A and B are shown apart, each in its own frame.
Chain A
């Protein structure tokens, strides 16, 4: 069965370190998204991609970057982790041009100490 997988499930890192969160989907979806979820803020879009080599900034992109070298993967990198980036991160994917909604991964809980 097709799926979307995030790794790791939990991560603790120190302030200032570079961290990369992985997202891998086998749905063959063109569109991929990264969200962070914080109490009182719901889900906020960090970055998104509509296909290979395409990346776009979302509403809270500062301090984050993504790259899309193939259809299956959209890794999210925190260049220099800050305590404000402690959050739960969700990756999602969707088909291009078809509005069946998004498929979400199970999330990565990141703690920056």
Chain B
């Protein structure tokens, strides 16, 4: 079956521009997570969705970061006014209740801010 997909796979942008990253979770997975993988910081949790609501946004690093999920499926992570320190690989994962602790990851979007 289809796994978690993310687009674009690579994104190069200029400092100050906005970017949108997309995640399609595995069909039927109600839980969706965003993580960031950057040099020196390892893998960091950003935000968690259960259905369309986000009960845990504690990992978003600043108010330039936001995310939404519609129809209990696709999610978009938006970074406004990008900075060079936003350069990283953004990973999306999904999981299925009740085995919510097992998360399946997408291939990631590699973001480079020049």
Partners in one complex: no
| Chain B residues at the A interface, C-beta cutoff of 8 Å | none
Q: List residues of chain A with CB under 8 Å of any chain B CB.
A: none
